[in-house]
Structure 1
Amino acid sequence: MTTRFELETLKIRINDIEFAALDLHQRIQRALRGLILEGALAGGIKLPASRALATSLGVARDTVENAYVQLQRDGYILRRKGSGSYVADRLGAELRGTAQRRIRAQAQKRGNPEPGEGLSLRGRTLFDNGGVSDQQAIKAFATGLPETRSFPLQVWERLQRQALKEHRGNVLLHGDPQGSEALRKAIATYLNLERGAKVAPEQVLVLSSTRQALFLCAQMLVDAGKPILMENPGYFGAKKAFEAAQARIAPIDVDAHGIRTDLLRADRSGASCLYLTPSHQYPTGATLSLERRLELIHWAAENGKWIIEDDYDSEFHYDGLPTACVQGLDPNRRTLYIGTFSKTLFPGLRIGYMVLPPELVAPFSAARSIIDGHTPQTLQLTLARFMGDGHYNAHVRAMRKLYAGRRACLLEAIGTHLAGIVTALRPPGGLQIPCVLEPGWSEQQTQRLAARAGIQLPGLSRLYAGEYKQQGWLLGYSSLTTSEIEAAIRQLAKALK
Structure 2
Amino acid sequence: MDYALLIDSFSQEHGVAGWPRQRVLHECLRAAIRSGKLGTGTRLLASRALAAELGVARNMVLYAYDQLATEGYIRPDRRGTVVMPVRAGGRAAAAALVPQASLSRRVQNLRSLNTPAGPTLGFAPGVPALDEFPVLVWRRMLERAWRGATVSDLNYCDPAGEPGLRATVADHLRAARGADCDAGQVFITGGTQAGLDLCARAFADVGDKVWIEDPGYAGALAAFRGAQLKVVGIATDEQGINPGAADWRRHRPKLIYTTPSHQYPTGSVLSLARRLSLIAHARAAGALIVEDDYDSEFRHDGPPLPAMQGLAPDAPVVYLGTFSKTMFPSLRIGFMVVPRALCGPVADLLARSVPCGRTAEQIALAQFLRDGQFALHLRRMRRLYRQRRDALVGALELHLGDVGTVHGGSAGMHLAFQLNDAALDDVAIAARVLEMGVVAHALSTHAVGARATVWKGLVLGYAQVPAEKIDGLVRKLAIAIAA
Deviations 1:70-127 (A, max 9, x none): xxxxxxxxx99xx88961887694424229954516999999x99xx8346x623312
Whether 2:116 is the aligned partner of 1:135: answer: yes
**Is contact 2:214-2:453 (8 Å) kept?**
no
For 1:351, the equivalent position in structure 2 comes to: 333
Unaligned 5+ segments in structure 2 are 39-43, 77-81
**Is contact 1:146-1:478 (8 Å) kept?**
yes
**Is contact 2:117-2:127 (8 Å) kept?**
no
Q: Distance in 2 between matches of 1:306 and 1:42?
A: 72
Aligned partner (choices 139, 147, 150) of residue 129 of structure 2 = 147
For 1:172, the equivalent position in structure 2 comes to: 154
Deviations 1:50-76 (A, max 9, x none): xx88xxxxxxxxxxxxxxxxxxxxxxx
Deviations 1:116-174 (A, max 9, x none): x8346x62331233543343544211001001101111101111111110114444322
Bigger drift between 137-146 and 462-471 goes to 462-471
Whether 2:469 is the aligned partner of 1:484: answer: yes
User: What letter corresponds to residue 122 of structure 2 in structure 1?
Assistant: A
User: What letter corresponds to residue 374 of structure 1 in structure 2?
Assistant: C
Aligned partner (choices 202, 209, 222) of residue 240 of structure 1 = 222
Check 1:368–1:30 CA distance in 2 against 1; reply closer, same or farther (3 A cut): farther
Bigger drift between 261-270 and 166-175 goes to 261-270
For 2:262, the equivalent position in structure 1 comes to: 280
Bigger drift between 409-418 and 175-184 goes to 175-184
For 1:227, the equivalent position in structure 2 comes to: 209
Aligned partner (choices 434, 443, 453) of residue 451 of structure 1 = 434
**Is contact 1:46-1:86 (8 Å) kept?**
no
Unaligned 5+ segments in structure 1 are 54-78
Report matched runs for 1:82-481 at 5 Å. Answer: 87=63, 93-96=69-72, 97-98=74-75, 101-102=83-84, 104=86, 118-119=100-101, 123-135=104-116, 137-138=118-119, 139-263=121-245, 266-365=248-347, 367-368=349-350, 373-439=355-421, 441-465=424-448, 466-481=451-466
- Report 1 or 2 for greater relative contact order, CA contacts < 8 Å, sequence distance ≥ 6: 2
Q: Distance in 2 between matches of 1:128 and 1:36?
A: 41
Check 1:494–1:86 CA distance in 2 against 1; reply closer, same or farther (3 A cut): same
User: What letter corresponds to residue 18 of structure 2 in structure 1?
Assistant: H
Q: Distance in 1 between matches of 2:350 and 2:272?
A: 33
Check 1:356–1:93 CA distance in 2 against 1; reply closer, same or farther (3 A cut): same
User: What letter corresponds to residue 127 of structure 1 in structure 2?
Assistant: Q
By how many angstroms is 1:362 displaced? 4.8
Q: Distance in 2 between matches of 1:425 and 1:131?
A: 23
* Number of corresponding residues: 458
**Is contact 1:386-1:392 (8 Å) kept?**
yes
Q: Distance in 2 between matches of 1:43 and 1:334?
A: 77
3-state SS of the aligned residue for 1:408? Answer: helix
Deviations 1:156-194 (A, max 9, x none): 111111111011444432222221112111111111111
**Is contact 2:117-2:124 (8 Å) kept?**
no
Aligned partner (choices 1, 6, 9) of residue 6 of structure 2 = 9
By how many angstroms is 1:228 displaced? 0.8
Check 1:389–1:269 CA distance in 2 against 1; reply closer, same or farther (3 A cut): same
Q: Distance in 2 between matches of 1:136 and 1:30?
A: 46
By how many angstroms is 1:335 displaced? 1.2
**Is contact 1:261-1:292 (8 Å) kept?**
no
TM-score (norm 1): 0.81
Whether 2:6 is the aligned partner of 1:25: answer: no
CA RMSD of aligned residues (A): 3.7
Deviations 1:270-316 (A, max 9, x none): 42111111111112222222222222221122121111110101101
For 1:67, the equivalent position in structure 2 comes to: none
Deviations 1:365-401 (A, max 9, x none): 5555676622411211111111111100110111011
User: What letter corresponds to residue 126 of structure 1 in structure 2?
Assistant: V
